[in-house]
Structure 1
Amino acid sequence: MASLDKVLYTARAHTTGGRDGASRTDDGRLDVTLSSPGTSGTGTNPEQLFAAGYSACFIGAMKAVAARQKLALPAGLSIDAEVDLGPVGQAYGIAARLNVSLPGMDRAAAQALVDAAHQVCPYSNATRGNIDVTLNVSV
């Protein structure tokens, strides 16, 4: 396990009610109702929040890698993230797929960029060896 050299930012959230509750950040920027997947509830769920967070973080990692390599990223860069929830023995687990779109970019360069971003992305580092993560690249 790697320890942080320095804390750059700390996110804080207060959650009540679990999957059928609510969550709010201390700064009020996020204030959501939570609902279990597959129910009639109108809230979001932890898997959707994880998908949004992972994909946003991964784009940030790609931007950092591209800046270091003096690489231009396509304006249409996007990620469609999918997070699966399912049983693992007597417990539950998740798996993630990041479908990375780099329109107009050379395929080899796009794959190299995604591979490098996967090494520096905090979500990738947190999940590595813990859940299945699949990276799909389209150009």
Structure 2
Amino acid sequence: MSEVIFTSSATAKNGRDGHVKSDDGLIDLNLVNPASNKDDKGSNPEQLFAAGYAACYDGALNLVAKQKKKEIKSETNAEVSFMKDEADGGNKIGVTLNINIEGASPEEAEELAESAHQVCPYSKATRGNVEVKLNPKAV
């Protein structure tokens, strides 16, 4: 394993209809499966993954822009879909990243978005396993 910079930890109990809590208590959420429970309020694994991916990708985008000496402002929205997996009859996730980049032309936005996708740790982790669609937009 590579050199560890830091480790985060969270514990889930009772799966999709349970509870998740981070080791520091900042995340302390009830989980609700929106596919089977439309009434109760709570988070779900896809929502938590979307938050993490959006933050990680937006950080990678700003890092790439800085390396290219391009000053931008950005906002990344991650849509994580829970889907049927035709291959094995189970389930899978898919991700759409909607990326707004201020201070870049449409061509630069495309280039920055693709470069960020190459270096983002979440993109690296999902590459070849999860379909990820990039929707960069110069604003």
User: TM-score w.r.t. structure 2 length?
Assistant: 0.91
Q: Which residue of 2 aligns with 1:108?
A: 107
CA RMSD of aligned residues (A): 1.2
Q: Which residue of 2 aligns with 1:118?
A: 117
In 1, Cα distance between the equivalents of 2:49 and 2:109?
24
Candidates 10, 14, 30, aligned match of 2:11: 14
Unaligned stretches of 5+ in structure 2?
none
Instruction: State the SS of the aligned residue for 2:102.
Output: coil
In 1, Cα distance between the equivalents of 2:129 and 2:9?
23
In 1, Cα distance between the equivalents of 2:129 and 2:42?
27
Which deviates more from structure 2 when the two are superposed, residues 18-27 or residues 100-109? 100-109
* 1:104 CA drift (Å): 4.4
How many residue pairs get matched?
134
In 1, Cα distance between the equivalents of 2:23 and 2:70?
36
Do the aligned partners of 2:75 and 2:100 also contact (CA within 8 Å) in 1? yes
* 1:80 CA drift (Å): 1.9
Structure 2: which amino acid aligns with 1:86?
M
The Cα offsets for residues 20-54 of structure 1, whole Å up to 9 and x where unpaired, read as 11111111111111100231221010011111110
Structure 2: which amino acid aligns with 1:73?
I
User: TM-score w.r.t. structure 1 length?
Assistant: 0.91
Structure 1 runs, 4 residues or longer, greater than 6 Å off: none
In 2, Cα distance between the equivalents of 1:53 and 1:41?
23
Could you tell me the percent identity over the aligned residues? 42
* 1:86 CA drift (Å): 1.3
Do the aligned partners of 2:84 and 2:92 also contact (CA within 8 Å) in 1? yes
Unaligned stretches of 5+ in structure 1?
none
In 1, Cα distance between the equivalents of 2:100 and 2:62?
14
Q: How does 1:1-139 map to 2 (within 5 A)?
A: 3-4=1-2, 6-38=3-35, 39=37, 40-74=39-73, 77-88=74-85, 89-139=88-138
